[in-house]
Structure 1
Amino acid sequence: MTTFVLVHGAFRGGWAWRSVRPHLVAAGHDVHAPSLIGAGEHAALVDAVTGLEVWVDQITRLVELEDLYDVALVGHSQGGLVTTSVAARIPERVAHLVHLDAAVPAPGERAVDLNPGGAPDPLPARDAVIAAPAASPDLDPAFAAWHAARVTPTPASVALDPVPAVPAGVEEHFAFFADTPAYYPCAAVRARLDAEERGYRVLDADHDAPQTAPAQVAQLLIEFTTSHEASMERSPR
């Protein structure tokens, strides 16, 4: 059994994992999928998010209070900032760090540094709140409407704080979704992995794969956390 802590991306909440959870539970795994402060059912608290540490504190406390060890931390998109930072905070409790189309800055860099062309000038104000973008026209209309009814603004502050290095002993796994737009921050992460000749997987899905391809995402998570061989697979170049 693997203990998964699933951390959603920007504008989403714990609800973004609602279709992945049953697959993991059916396979015998323990699953936690909280909504970050200021997101999902906690959207009214968005002004309380003054920086990345607020979310890192939240997920760290969840792991500690639930007495979790050998955790697989899974970060989708902006959630990669949180999971990477939590792994650096409590490495003794983390076995796997899984990045799904995730924003994972190099150690000491910030999410804004992953933007095409580098950090924007000027930077967004720390107390700014970024409105959720419109759904992609390529999405199924019914899903797009369901999704639009749930997304909420996200705080800019979390993108302005540096992310620490992943400690030795925490196994990292990277996966990217083939239909994600090239301007998303994860594209810069993928380019860095290519330059460093580090391995990753590519799933034939869009950026919202946890909702649009949940069975495939769940299977990928199981493979990452049960097979060392799977984690070393290289994507086609």
Structure 2
Amino acid sequence: MTQFVLVAGAWLGSWAWRDVEPGLRAAGHGVHPLTLSGLADRQEAVAVGQRTHVQDIVDVVEGRDLRDVVLVGHSYAGIPVGQAAERIGDRLARVVFVDSNVPADGESFVSGWPDGRAGVEAAIAANDGLWPPPAAADCADQGLTEEQLARFLGGATPHPGATLTDPAVLARPLGLLPATYLTCLLDQPEPSPEVRELLAGGRWRLVTMDTGHWPMFSRPAELARVLLDAAGADARR
């Protein structure tokens, strides 16, 4: 039985996976959505940095003694998930990066935003160290219905700013991980150069969905099928 550990991106918590979970559970797998420190139901956490988020993920895997783990990281969460993946050793079956950033040793989330870094850092500085949730206009053309958008924005909470500016720490090349990268075509029709390089290494697979950046809201059943397919990838190799 595969154990899916689901980690949503900036501003979100475990609640974001509500409509994805049934498809995974119906297939007979374990499902473990988690909320990272400082977000959603864990907003009381203080002094939250990127290493905190990495440890959050490792603690769930090791604390619950999970095996055959598929780590799923959406958007920002790809950065701590990628780091946690190498720390859980042979518990890991696969990583699925959902339209996400990927960690690079010594680089941060905002390092990959050459055109938007200053704006993100200014927003964090102006909001007591937190990155405020987006406005509805920031989510246009992402395949969300009004109801889905309202649910996303209604549950979003400010994101701990240090997690976006702290550098990632990797002990080995990310391309050595067994991984699937999901590109959401409404958000970015092509993977980033960094991801294309990782895909060229032979251990990563590329899949696409014709939806926007938040498929857990816009296409949850389809996303569940993609995750189930990814979990079976190693068995077909």
Give the alignment's TM-score, normalised by structure 1. 0.84
AA partner of residue 192 (structure 1) = E
Following superposition, the deviation at residue 40 of structure 1 comes to 1.7
Cα 1:64–1:210 change in 2 (3 A) is same
Note if contact 2:72-2:98 (Cα within 8 Å) is conserved in structure 1: yes
Q: Which amino acid aligns with 2:93?
A: A
Which residue pairs with 2:78 in the alignment? 80
Alignment partner, residue 92 of structure 2? 94
1:31 partnered with 2:27 = no
In structure 2, C-alpha distance between the alignment counterparts of 1:122 and 1:38, rounded to whole Å? 18
- Aligned length in residues: 224
1:219–1:50 CA distance, 2 compared to 1 (3 A): same
Mean alpha-carbon deviation: is it higher for 172-181 or for 125-134?
125-134
User: Conserved in 2, the CA contact under 8 Å of 1:95 and 1:169?
Assistant: no
8 A contact 1:87–1:166 mirrored in 2: no
Once the two structures are overlaid, the 10-residue window that deviates more, 75-84 or 138-147, is 138-147
Q: Is the 8 A contact 2:83 2:103 kept in 1?
A: no
Structure 1 runs of 4+ with >6 Å offset:
none
**1:213 is the counterpart of 2:219:** yes
Measure the CA separation in 1 of the matches of 2:199 and 2:188. 22
Q: Structure 1: any 5+ residue segments left out of the alignment?
A: 232-237
Distance 1:85 1:77 in 2: 14
Map residues 89-128 of structure 1 onto 2, 5 A cutoff: 89-117=87-115, 119-120=117-118, 123=121, 128=129
Percent pairwise identity: 32
Contact 2:61 2:88 in 1 (8 A): no
Aligned counterpart, 1:234: none
Under a length normalisation based on structure 2, what TM-score does the superposition of the two structures give? Answer: 0.84
2:56 maps to a residue whose letter is Q
Backbone CA RMSD of aligned residues: 2.6
Equivalent residue number for residue 235 of structure 1: none
What is the aligned partner in structure 1 of residue 2 from structure 2? 2
Q: Which moved more, 1:169-178 or 1:212-221?
A: 169-178
CA positional deviation for 1:43: 2.4
Report the residue type matching 1:131 in the other structure. Answer: P
Q: Distance in 1 between matches of 2:70 and 2:4?
A: 5
Partner of 1:192: 194
Question: Secondary structure, in 3 states, of the residue corresponding to 1:78?
Answer: helix
Unaligned segments of structure 2, at least 5 residues: none
* More off after superposition, 138-147 vs 165-174: 165-174
